[in-house]
Structure 1
Amino acid sequence: MFFDILPRVGLKPKDYILKFILPASVISLLLLILGITYFSGYTRLVVLFLPLLLMGSAIGYPYIELDSQRQKINERLHIFITKFGVLSITDLDRKELMHLLATEKEELGQLATESHKIFVLIKRWNQSLAESCRFLANRSPSSQFGDFLDRMAYSIDSGQELKEFLHGEQDIVMEDYGEFYKRAIYTLDTFKEMYVSAVTSVSFFVTFAIIAPFLLPYDFVTMVTVALLGFVLIEVLLVYAIKSRLPYDRLWHTGEKPTKIDLKLKKWLIISVIGTVLFTLFLLWGKFIGEIPQIMKIPYQIIFALGMSPLAIGGYFAQREENLVIRKEFNFPDFLRSLGDSVSAKGGGMTDSLEYLSSNDFGPLTKDLEGLYKRVSIRVNSQKAWRYFGYDTCSYMIQLFSEMFERCTFLGGNAGVAAHMIGKNFRKIINLRKAKYQSVSQFSGIMYGLAGGMALTLYASAGVANMVNGLYTSLDIPDTMISIVNIITPEDFSLIAYLIYGVLVIYSIVSGYLIKLMDGGHYQVSLMHFVIMLWVASIVGYIAEVMTGSLLGTSLPI
């Protein structure tokens, strides 16, 4: 039943009708009246389509919200099961354990809300943990999480210890998460194909818009502008679709204060922006005002690419730091297992174990371990020391899992068991990320190729249009045919060429952002991808313009 879904997304039928259905119905009725009364033709169809879209959105909202909650649960299930398993080996009772999980909203997201529901059932409704899990399993948006709750309820009823059950569930849930992650990568591959197909199709549409005014009674600039705006709109919609389906898997930390690396990247970003502004202004002044001969010979595509090139500096340094963070993540499980074994062997000597391990080589992580040892040895606040260690590594995963380890040992849990559990799950996540990085790397190459292909197609089409236009202007056209034949002025051709290049610039911006959206890395790296794609598009566009002009005996009037 439709109304059975509403409680699962936190809505009462009355609130849903008053907040969604009723406003949508009123607005839709007003749009219908306005469309029938004041509009006609295609405009009326567009206006009359809006009520259908609005009502469809209102009716489909519960399903969309339910799917969103399912996605949020599945994408953080690996963090939940690891944290749940690690905390279960402490001396916390079950009610306190669920309360602690319910407070971790930043780490667990929707799963913190689900944990809070279990806690409320235990505390306020005097339900056992098994009864609460069984009750929530039938109402969970995620089938994977529901199956986990069913298994937990059965194991508790059968008398199995909670920590034994959760220890055995680590492999099961992590395997389910691995399948979810692989499906997400497969979906990502599907979106890559859609993105390539959409960009290619719209490129041909823009090409048609450049040629069509010679055959149909349409304005050149209007046709090209509409086609290019459609291209930008489709790009934005595709980015939104990809973003909504990608699992939450960020690389960079979420610290409250910027770390030294954050400040360093910010410094290089400011230098890049200032350098870009000054260099671009100098090139524009030299070409259009100062009329420096050497700069005036440079085509406008190369001028703009040169002006934007300093942005690659900030992107390069961000890429370098990002690679270090990835290497730190590869070393973290080995460090944590060594630390857990050492602490267990020494009976709780965390400081001594850190002192010994910080003198060993753990690659880029070694410097951060030295800082961790210095903070822990002061014995002021161990929790903050581990938190700052996670921030200093700049890794979101190290930030989360190192705080899990610290919380477990602080509450009396076995350091060796916790370290092995965290390290094992951490290693599985890293291996899954390798497949994602490889997929994104392949997509990056495709995007660079598309940038060159688009530039070649669009500038070649513009060259052909200029040749046809020159042929028309050289003919002695009778007065009766002048109204039928379209002729483009040099000013319009200049505007069309600039519009084409503007779309290539927008494509480079969107594609650079999309690459970092997919791999979850630092968005400043997208500046480097933007500059590289801009150079590819600029060089290929200029070469296509020159070759088209030499082959067809024309040149764009720029």
Structure 2
Amino acid sequence: MLFDILPRVGLKPRDYILKFVIPSLIISVILTVLGVKYFTGYVRLIFLLLPLLIVGSAIGYPYIELDTQKNQINEKLHIFITKFGVLSITDLDRKELMKLLSEEKEELGQLAEESKKIYVLIKRWNQSLAEACRFLATRTPSNEFADFLDRMAYSLDSGEELKDFLSDEQDIVMEDYAAFYKRALYSLDMFKEMYVSAITSVAFFVTFAVIVPFLMPYDFTTTVTFALLGFILIEVLMVYGIKSKLPYDRLWHTGEKPTAVDLKLKKWLIISIILTVVLTTTLVWGKYIAEIPKMVKIPYQILFATGVTPLLIGGYMAQREENLVIRKEYNFPDFLRSLGNSVSAKGGGMTESLKYLSSHDFGPLTKDLERLYKRISIRIDNNKAWRYFGFDTCSYLIQLFSEMFERCTFLGGDPGKASEIIGTNFRKIINLRKSKYQSVAQFSGIIYGLGGGMALSLYASYGVAQMVSNLYTTLDIPEAMISVINIMSPGDLSMVSYLMYAVLVFYSMVSGYLIKLMDGGHLQCSLMHFVIMLWIASIVSYVTGLLVQSILGVGIPLY
């Protein structure tokens, strides 16, 4: 079974044994010998478990690689079928068509490799397209793609034209992609619940770490530090798990050179960082070094949150541009259909059609259309003109699909049919994205509330721990009881308070990054979420400290 999978992931049995199995066995034997000979206890157990993990990884690698290729195929299936359908209405023969698809590695990813296999079977082994498709269908890791290849092979054998088949196939493949996308959204909902559960559990663990010194001979700083490290580890693992399962669905363009919007965002990011460094340095100097009376009274939570607030500027500017990009995507299908129908009706005349459409209102897309018309009217290089148009919109989807339209018209395809295929599929994709944006918006609200809840529980437990510690120090406890009850000195509790706030800062940073990871947007927008979550956590922690101080009568370090 294992050796049947190897050809599907591009590995020969001999290479797999030499590169994966034998090295893993040698390393496992060495670790086992070292563990048995030189170590005892838990260290020996770790050395004996590592070989099992290494050998298991070597055996499981083909299955992991197969699943990875499957996801890579499924997440680019919508781009593949659109490009395949658009190019099929040109004057290219089948061999050239498959060669062209095999060269689009940036756009199609693993599907370009699958297309290359078909092209090699046609060119070098003199197979027909139907035979090549049927051969590959039994070896591709994706069931959806295999079904598509089987349908295409049967259709071609029955004498149907390739362009007619692909035209009818658009809806079927897009439905398969929609089903894959919705499954990914369901997985995303599951990961959201796992993330909330994990963070809640770890918050309880950090809270428990504050109580441990009363039960075991450890100081507060040590236990809270270990809890903080555990919290960081859980956060990193959860982010990695979510990232590995999310489908590739980016929003921002992939241009080689930064656009005017990219330069603008970079400028605001630099300004935000400089203001943050200056403001934070000034506040820290005034509170802890110069000890200015009014600044000394500022709580450290509010002081730090104020210091990083300028990052909100860079995040807000990126979020505003991202919203414009989303609006451009909503207007793009209408523009492309109008352009394709206009060019088809006039029997050519791309420049005249663009001139006419650029005077109409397509929302935020209008300015980009005006620049496209100016570049096209110069008549130097239409391919670059459309490529720069995609970059200027800053949309990855517009970048891909506008280049498809240009390539089709350049190769002699019907602009009307091309715009119909692209516009319909584009509209389906952005409708799927709406569901994702709604899901991510709900998740954002959850983690905002979770940050406030963490601050409340941490600082409330901190206040209770300090009250109990103060109570123990005021009681006359016999020597016999001191050996049973661990009485800790409250002198280092201020450091514990700072460590707990560090947990909240790290949580805000990771959660802000996770939001943009899920929606595929610009990472600079995460700064805005980070600042907002940090302010929520800072205000809740400070207010909780005041309430605990007034109710329990303990002195929590607030300043």
TM-score (norm 2): 0.99
Structure 1 position 550 matched with structure 2 position 550: yes
Paired residues of 2:207 and 2:458 also in contact (CA < 8 A): yes
Q: Does 1:276 align with 2:276?
A: yes
What residue number does 1:123 align with? 123
Once the 2 structures are TM-superposed, how far is the Cα of residue 482 of structure 1 from its aligned partner?
3.3
Within-5 A mapping of 1:113-262: 113-262=113-262
Bigger shift: 26-35 or 476-485?
476-485
Hey, what's the Cα distance between the residues in 1 that align with 2:37 and 2:339? 75
Q: Which stretch of the first structure deviates more once superposed, 472-481 or 452-461?
A: 472-481
Shift, 1:22, TM fit: 1.1
How much has 1:452 moved relative to structure 2?
A: 0.2
- How far apart in 2 are the matches of 1:40 and 1:492? 35
For the residue of structure 1 that corresponds to 2:11, the secondary structure is coil
What is the alpha-carbon distance in structure 2 between the residues aligned to residue 219 and residue 500 of structure 1?
15
Deviation of 1:557 after TM superposition, in Å, equals: 4.0
Which amino acid is 2:171 matched to?
A: D
Partner residue, 1:467: 467
Question: Match of 1:270, as an amino acid?
Answer: I
Q: How does 1:493-504 map to 2 (within 5 A)?
A: 493-504=493-504
Q: Name 1:428's counterpart in structure 2.
A: 428
Alpha-carbon distance change, 409 to 542 in structure 1, aligned in 2, over 3 angstroms:
same
Please state how far the C-alpha of 1:44 moved relative to its aligned partner: 2.1
Instruction: Give runs of aligned pairs for residues 32-71 of structure 1, distance below 5 A.
Output: 32-71=32-71
SS at match of 2:363: coil
Q: Are 1:546 and 1:555, in contact at CA under 8 Å, matched by a contact in 2?
A: no
The alignment's TM-score, normalised by the length of structure 1, stands at 0.99
Whether the 8 Å contact between 2:545 and 2:556 is mirrored in structure 1 is: yes
Match of 1:368 in 2: 368
RMSD: 1.0
Instruction: Give the letter aligned to residue 336 of structure 2.
Output: L
Q: Is the 8 A contact 2:470 2:490 kept in 1?
A: no
How far apart, in 2, do the equivalents of 1:36 and 1:218 lie?
A: 32
SS at match of 1:8: helix
Report the secondary structure of 1:488's partner residue. Answer: coil
The 3-state SS of whatever aligns with 2:232 is helix
Q: What does the per-residue CA deviation read over 1:20-72, in whole Å, with 9 as the maximum and x for residues that have no partner?
A: 11111111111112222222222222222211111111110000000000000
Retained in 2: the 8 A contact 1:206–1:458? yes
In the alignment, what sits opposite 1:356? 356
Distance 1:415 1:451 in 2: 52
In the aligned structure 1, how far is the partner of 2:273 from the partner of 2:46? 42
Q: Distance in 2 between matches of 1:249 and 1:141?
A: 20
Structure 1 residue 212, shift from structure 2 partner: 2.0
* Corresponding residue number in structure 2 for 1:325: 325
- Find the aligned partners of 1:172 and 1:323 in 2 and give their Cα distance: 31
| Secondary structure, aligned partner of 1:364 | helix
Q: Distance in 1 between matches of 2:248 and 2:18?
A: 33
How many angstroms apart in 1 are the aligned matches of 2:126 and 2:30? Answer: 50
Q: Which residue of 1 aligns with 2:455?
A: 455
Structure 1 distance, partners of 2:427, 2:19, is 46
Aligned length: 558
Cα distance in 1, alignment partners of residues 131 and 228 from structure 2:
58
Could you report, residue by residue, the CA deviation over 1:338-377 in whole angstroms, capped at 9, with x for unpaired residues? 0000000010100000000000000000000000000000
Structure 1 range deviating more: 217-226 or 155-164: 217-226
1:94 counterpart = 2:118: no
Question: Could you tell me which residue of structure 1 aligns to residue 335 of structure 2?
Answer: 335
In structure 2, the partner of 1:304 is 304
Deviates more, 1:370-379 or 1:230-239: 230-239
The CA distance in 2 between the partners of 1:491 and 1:388, in whole Å, is 63
**Alpha-carbon distance in structure 1 between the residues aligned to 2:421 and 2:200:** 47
The letter of the residue matching 2:220 is F
1-side partners of 2:462 and 2:266: how far apart? 41
| One-letter amino acid of the structure 2 residue matched with residue 384 of structure 1 | K
Q: Deviations over 1:139-185 (max 9, x none)?
A: 00000000000000000010000000000000000001001111110
Q: Distance in 1 between matches of 2:473 and 2:50?
A: 45
Partner of 1:256, secondary structure, is coil
Shift of 1:77: 0.1
Q: Note the alpha carbon deviations across 1:199-245, whole angstroms, 9 max, x for none.
A: 11111111111112212333332222111211111111011010011
* 1:87–1:408 CA contact under 8 A, matched in 2: yes
> Taking every aligned residue pair, what percent have the same amino acid on both sides?
75
- For residues 394-430 of structure 1, give each alpha carbon's deviation from its aligned partner in whole angstroms, at most 9, with x where no partner exists: 0000000000000000000000000010000000001
Q: CA deviation at 1:109?
A: 0.3
Structure 1 residue identity aligned to 2:555: S
Deviation at 1:491, TM superposition (A): 4.2
Contact 1:490–1:557 at 8 Å: present in 2 too? Answer: no
Report matched runs for 1:403-414 at 5 Å: 403-414=403-414
* C-alpha separation in 2, matches of 1:351 and 1:119: 36
CA distance in 2, matches of 1:490, 1:274: 38
Q: Which runs of 5+ in 2 are unaligned?
A: none
Q: Distance in 1 between matches of 2:406 and 2:248?
A: 24
**AA of the residue aligned to 1:395:** S
Give structure 1 stretches of 5+ with no counterpart. none
8 Å contact from structure 2 (residues 469, 490) kept in 1: no
Separation in 1 of the partners of 2:87 and 2:117? 19
